[in-house]
């Protein structure tokens, strides 16, 4: 609570009263909707999707839309296209942000999650021999772990089950899972107010590099290990320099008019709807 209060004071001091009000409204409103979902008042798909649309429309009013793309944009890409893991990142959907956040990254396949899953699944080490187990055990002892699990081993058993399920049935989007098993999909939705938004989250850096953030690090690691051809991801934020590239491409009348430094992005998944012919 003390940490939260300190954060609230910092936002007010650093960002001013207007920004403080907007962020407070977003915080309260999103958690109110999440509560209604969790107590099963509005889990009916048609109702929940209408409320989700209302929430997203409200966000667009609260926060100036920074990107010319849809606020919520899904991409079908190869897991191998997500090469990075961003350590410092903006998280809001549709946000464009400058700075060096996209330079503060590491290879996703060098992250603790990926290396631990690789060690367990590829090299058949017990979970207890992985760094991920040690990290989660420390979090569990400190109370900083998902409350629905009685132990770290219970959580990791679900990771085992998830890999086997994807291996047998293939990788499924959250929309598909919601239609097949709504109760279980709602239970596993711990990062967003609605399961539809709980796809693997990515940000796009200044040069179009795609990096993992937010939801789905275990799913992404599994998709890479199983060599899944294609997964659905949701774009959270873009670097302002990448947004400038998007706008230059969108303004071009033909592909031939583009300079060489823009033609290199012809096959980038974030540009397919605006790439001229």
Spatial contact of 81 and 202, defined as CB atoms under 8 Å apart: no
How far is the C-alpha of 225 from the C-alpha of 40, rounded, in Å? 35
User: CB neighbours of 47 closer than 8 A, spacing ≥ 6?
Assistant: none
Mean pLDDT of 244-257: 94
How far is the C-alpha of 180 from the C-alpha of 162, rounded, in Å? 15
pLDDT of residue 222: 97
Residue with the bigger pLDDT between 186 and 196: it is 196
How far is the C-alpha of 237 from the C-alpha of 213, rounded, in Å? 10
List the Cα angle 174/52/170 in 5-degree steps: 5
CA atoms within 13 A on the CB side of 59: 20
Instruction: Please return the burial class of 226, using the count of CB atoms within 10 Å of its CB with bins 0-12, 13-18 and 19+.
Output: middle
Q: Report the 10 Å Cβ neighbour count for 77.
A: 18
DSSP-assigned letter for residue 187 = H
What are the tokens at 114?
């990926």
Report for 21-30, 82-91, 138-147: range of highest mean pLDDT:
82-91
The SS3 of residue 91 is: coil
pLDDT at 4 over 60: no
pTM of the model: 0.81
Spatial contact of 93 and 59, defined as CB atoms under 8 Å apart: yes
What are the tokens at 184?
């279980």
Render pLDDT for 124-141 as a digit per residue (tens, 0 to 9): 999 999 999 999 888 888
The SS3 of residue 227 is: coil
pLDDT confidence of 123, banded at 50, 70, 90?
very high
Render pLDDT for 48-103 as a digit per residue (tens, 0 to 9): 667 667 766 666 665 555 666 677 899 999 999 999 999 767 777 888 889 999 99
pLDDT of residue 223: 97
How far is the C-alpha of 266 from the C-alpha of 138, rounded, in Å? 45
* Nearest CA-CA partner of 67 in 197, 257, 275, 250: 250
Q: Which helix (H) or strand (E) holds 132?
A: helix 131-142
């Amino acid at each position: 609570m003390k940490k939260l209060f300190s954060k609230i004071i910092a936002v007010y001091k650093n960002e001013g009263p207007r920004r403080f009000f907007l962020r407070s409204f977003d915080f309260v409103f999103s958690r109110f909707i999440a509560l209604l979902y969790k107590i099963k008042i509005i889990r009916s798909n048609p109702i929940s999707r209408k409320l989700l649309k209302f929430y997203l429309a409200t966000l667009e009013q609260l926060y100036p839309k920074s990107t010319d793309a849809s606020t919520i944009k899904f991409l079908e890409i190869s897991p191998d296209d997500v090469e990075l893991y961003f350590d410092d990142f903006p998280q809001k959907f549709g946000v464009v942000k400058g700075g060096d956040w996209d330079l503060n990254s590491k290879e996703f396949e060098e992250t603790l999650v990926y290396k631990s899953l690789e060690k367990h699944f590829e090299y058949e080490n017990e979970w207890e021999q992985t760094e991920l187990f040690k990290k989660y055990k420390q979090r569990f002892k400190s109370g900083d772990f998902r409350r629905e699990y009685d132990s770290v081993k219970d959580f990791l058993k679900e990771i085992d089950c998830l890999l086997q399920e994807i291996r047998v049935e293939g990788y499924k989007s959250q929309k598909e899972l919601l239609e097949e098993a709504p109760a279980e999909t709602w239970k596993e939705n711990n990062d967003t107010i609605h399961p539809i938004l709980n796809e693997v989250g990515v940000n796009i850096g200044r040069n179009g590099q795609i990096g993992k953030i937010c939801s789905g690090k275990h799913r992404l690691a599994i998709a890479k290990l199983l060599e899944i051809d294609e997964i659905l991801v949701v774009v959270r934020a873009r670097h302002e320099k990448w947004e400038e590239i998007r706008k230059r491409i969108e303004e071009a009348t033909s592909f031939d008019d583009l300079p060489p430094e823009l033609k290199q992005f012809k096959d980038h998944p974030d540009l397919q709807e605006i790439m001229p012919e």
